[in-house]
Amino acid sequence: MRVLITRPEREATTLAAALAERGHAPVLAPLFRLEILRPPADFAATLAASQAVLLSSANGARALAEATEQRGKPILAVGDTTASTAEGLGFASVASAAGDGAALAELVRRRLDPKAGPLLHVSGAEVARDFGAALAPAGFEVRRVALYDAREETALPDSARVALQARALDAATFFSPRAADLFVRLVQEAGLSGSLAGVTAIAISPAALQPLSALPFKATVAAARPTRQAVLDEIDRLPAAGVEGPSIMSDTPSPSDTLSPPVAPAAAVPVRRGIGVIGAFITGIVAACLVLAGALISLPYWPAEIRTLWRGEAAPPPPAPALDLQAVRRDAAAVANAAAEATKRELTAKLDDLEKRVRAAAAAAAERPAIAPDPAIAELRAKIAALESRPAPATAPPIAPPSAAGVPTADQEKELAALRLEIATVRTALQTLDQAMAGQRDQAKALAEAVDKARGEAGARGAGEQKVLAAARASAVIGLAARLNAALEAGLPFAADLDLLAPLAQGDAKLAEVIKSLQPYGQNGVASRATLVAGFPAVAKAALAEDLADDSFGERLLGKLRSLVSLRRVGADVQGDSVEAKLARAEAALDAGDLAKAVGIVKSLPPQTARATAGWLSGADAHLAARRAVDQLAAQAVALLGAAR
């Protein structure tokens, strides 16, 4: 099943993973953007004075972890998901109420003592329950601090809008009254209320379900418990509920049949008296005259093609169906080309600037090595080596008195001073050389970082181009799915649309499989739903006559009469396993729009009716097979668009 998720992005991702594990296809359409708020100045003191922290959502746990590094304060969470989030963030003492706000308040009353200190409620800017008012009668003091805010989207997300337009959704989930109310408002503003006729709304609680009554959902369901697991269980029950419908066809008696007293057949199905054959004939003539008069009066307002057919002239060839799609593809290609050109210009400018910087650095590096072979440094190094290799004097100079032993003479002082000056000069030159080399290393590092940054930006731009092209491809597939849907409803050929779809399916196995399943019907089309409904009474009359053909002479005579004048019971309330009863229930299913159910009932008729029903069943099976393929195409297109975003 294709399930719409309206939760914020982080919760939506987790829920989507759970749905995927169960075999469902999630469609992410977050209605809120989570924003972490700065805690108040006295938040640390408020937290320290509190005996415990109340968390009414998983976002509260994340905001609390952002606001403080303390993890030892006791946590009371509203449900298991919130408790698991808090434990994953490192909070040591976490207890779950496994329910809603009322369950959390009851957990506080059971476990905590009002005299032990106040409670801290970490919440969003808007709250659905005031725990201060709920716990005040029990003597608790609750201090609420808003650490996050869920900002509402101003328009319906593109993924939800496209999925609704393509009628590619089976269910939609809502986890708060605020989300349900916002969804109602955005859908009504987008004018897509009529696209919800086949969607089942599943809410986490009756309160979250209440705002959805303003939209025409196929059905609305509230989870048995206010938990994410309960919502997932309700989603899993939806297919089973759809299969239980035709169980009335079983040959095994139901409990109500076995326990209730027998009822006479005549009383079970009362015979309805009509207006008679002559009255029906006259009524039909009057109705035909009225329809003909209405058609003549409204003829000027008919489309040109139909007026041409009415006058008996040859209808002009219909316009090529590829024009609209070609326009869509041209627009998408223009958008992609514009984005690609802008990206190329920006990358070219950055690469030119980078090339200039590389040339400048190379020139600087080529000039720097000239410092190494400096003759002065070489001369100083030679002097140091000569001084170090000079032998020490064997005896003291004869002019030095014994009392002055160890004291350098004036000549030695001059020589030592000159040596110290040369050593200081060498050290200064070496420090200058080290600084120059360090500068070169810094420039080389900066240059490498600039190159890495340019490569990263180039990769990001390339990914952006791929997303634009993928979005354009998905939009084209969605347009073709809409055209194929219209062709099925009108009973028209759609081979040209399949030819346009083929280039878009390259490299996509699912799209190729859908095209392959539709190709047998593309040249001539399939019978429309309206055609199948209109042709069923004749099929039912023939099947009823065939059912009596192998009985007694009287029954065969009655069958012949029924082939001329059909008198049979109709309506979904006709009980029994006779051919007449099953045909009545099949016709009721057709009137309700459930073609698959009608086909299943007709296939359960006795073998002697096969000749009468074979043609109709063949057309109905072809219509259902083409419908399933088009639904798969729409779902794959929505998935491609979601991946491109």
Tens of pLDDT, residues 581-623: 888 888 888 888 888 888 898 888 888 888 888 888 889 999 8
Chain-centre distance for alpha carbon 460: 23
Tokens of 362: 């190379």
Going by pLDDT thresholds of 50, 70 and 90, the confidence category of residue 308 is low
Please tell me which residue, 607 or 407, carries the higher pLDDT value. 607
Instruction: Tell me how far the alpha carbon of residue 279 is from its chain's centroid.
Output: 58
Q: How confident is the model at residue 349 (pLDDT cuts 50, 70, 90)?
A: low
Q: Which residues contact 393 (CB under 8 A, 6 or more apart)?
A: none
pLDDT at 256 over 50: no
The answer to pTM > 0.75 is: no
- pLDDT number for residue 270: 43
Please compute the mean of the pLDDT values over residues 118-143 and round it to a whole number.
89
DSSP string, 265-291: HHHHSPPPP-S-HHHHHHHHHHHHHHH
In angstroms, rounded to a whole number, what is the distance separating the alpha carbons of residues 270 and 286? 29
% of the chain exceeding 90 in pLDDT = 17
Query: Which has more pLDDT, 277 or 49?
Result: 49
Q: 331 pLDDT exceeds 70? A: no
Q: Which domains does the chain have, with CATH numbers?
A: 2-31+154-243 (3.40.50.10090), 33-152 (3.40.50.10090), 284-317 (no CATH)
Give, as one character, the DSSP assignment of residue 319.
Answer: P
Structure tokens at 430: 């070496």
Sequence-ordered list of residues with C-beta below 8 angstroms from that of 145, at least 6 positions apart, any chain: 39, 40, 43, 46, 120, 121, 122, 123
Q: Return the minimum-mean-pLDDT range out of 384-393, 472-481, 539-548.
A: 384-393
- Alpha carbon dihedral 10, 14, 19, 25, in 10-degree steps, equals 40
pLDDT of residue 11: 81
Q: Amino acid identity of 206?
A: P
**How many angstroms separate the CA atoms of 119 and 132, rounded?**
9
User: Residue 220 — pLDDT band, cuts 50, 70, 90?
Assistant: very high
For residue 42, CA distances in Å to 46, 49, 73, 598 come to 6, 11, 17, 68
Judged by average pLDDT, the poorest of 67-81, 339-353, 393-407, 583-597 is: 393-407
What are the tokens at 364? 């600087």
Determine the average pLDDT of the residues in 447-453. 75
Q: How confident is the model at residue 401 (pLDDT cuts 50, 70, 90)?
A: very low
Which pLDDT tens digit goes with each residue over 131-148?
Answer: 988 899 999 999 999 998
Distance CA 226, CA 103 (A): 10
For position 253, what pLDDT does the model report? 38
Mean pLDDT on 10-20: 85
Per-residue HEC secondary structure of 302-316 comes to CCHHHHHHHHCCCCC
Please give the mean pLDDT across all residues of the chain. Answer: 76
Check pLDDT > 90 for residue 390: no
Highest mean pLDDT among 135-144, 245-254, 289-298, 581-590: 135-144
**Would you state the pLDDT for residue 52?**
94
Residue 272's pLDDT is what?
46
Could you report how far apart the first and last alpha carbons of the chain are, in Å? 21
For residue 106, pLDDT over 80 is answered with yes
pLDDT for 265 beyond 50? no
| Whether the Cβ atoms of residue 61 and residue 85 lie closer than 8 Å to each other | yes
Per-residue pLDDT tens for 440-449?
677 777 777 7
Q: What is the mean pLDDT of residues 427-437?
A: 71
DSSP H/E element including 553 = helix 553-564
Q: Is residue 262 over pLDDT 50?
A: no
Lowest mean pLDDT among 102-111, 311-320, 416-425, 505-514: 311-320
Q: Report which of residues 521 and 344 the model is more confident about.
A: 521
- Containing 460, the helix (H) or strand (E) segment is helix 410-490
Q: What is the pLDDT of residues 82-97, one digit of tens each?
A: 998 898 888 989 999 9
Q: According to the model, what pLDDT value does residue 391 have?
A: 59
Q: How confident is the model at residue 460 (pLDDT cuts 50, 70, 90)?
A: low
Looking at residue 428, its pLDDT comes to 74
Give per-residue pLDDT as tens, 170-217: 999 998 898 999 999 999 999 999 889 889 999 998 998 999 999 999
* pLDDT attached to residue 338: 59
User: What's the CA gap between 472 and 253, in Å, rounded?
Assistant: 55
Confidence of residue 228 (pLDDT cuts 50, 70, 90): confident
- For residue 393, pLDDT over 70 is answered with no
Residue percentage of the chain with pLDDT more than 70: 68
SS3 for 376-433 is HHHHHHHHHHHHHHCCCCCCCCCCCCHHHCCCCCHHHHHHHHHHHHHHHHHHHHHHHH
Q: Is residue 244 scored above 50 in pLDDT?
A: no
Say if residue 342's pLDDT is above 70. Answer: no
Per-residue pLDDT averaged across 98-104, rounded? 87
